[in-house]
Amino acid sequence: MSGVPSLEEVIGSFLETFPQGASGSEKEIPSLFLEFSELLFENPENTSNQVLISHLGGFELDEFLNFYLEDMFPDDPKIRTKGKDFLKKFRKFLEKKSLLNKEQEIEWKEFYKENEIR
């Protein structure tokens, strides 16, 4: 990939790694992460702006895991665990593809430590 890929491209590639019979709920969290990120970085003045993977730091991960998911699914007691599972797999995918810059790696590592994601 040349340049920094969009989050949409990265999520699409990530979803392609799921086994054929993966459950819909397993694929739902990555889609929600994309939706959340698009809402967070929405710019009404420039609708062609794409969210890039480089836009995402520890703050965005924290907002997604600790606020967005719980607000969207208040009746699902396992939503935080599902979010953690997704973020764990997603980080491994990003590291394997070398898609995080050094600053992001540091921020993400700190976020994962603070939220006990192993």
Confidence of residue 85 (pLDDT cuts 50, 70, 90): very high
* 90 belongs to a structural domain: yes
* 69 belongs to a structural domain: yes
Confidence of residue 1 (pLDDT cuts 50, 70, 90): very low
The residue segments making up the domain with residue 79 are 7-114
* 72 belongs to a structural domain: yes
* 1 belongs to a structural domain: no
* 2 belongs to a structural domain: no
As for how many domains the chain has, the answer is 1
* 33 belongs to a structural domain: yes
The Cα angle at residue 14 between residues 29 and 66, in degrees rounded to 5: 30
* 108 belongs to a structural domain: yes
For the residues of 32-66, what is the DSSP string, one character each?
A: HHHHHHHHHT--TT-TTPPPBGGG--HHHHHHIII
Section 55-84 average pLDDT: 95
Is it the case that residue 89 has pLDDT exceeding 90?
yes
- Residue 18: the pLDDT is 85
Q: Are 87 and 65 in contact (CB under 8 A)?
A: yes
Confidence of residue 44 (pLDDT cuts 50, 70, 90): low
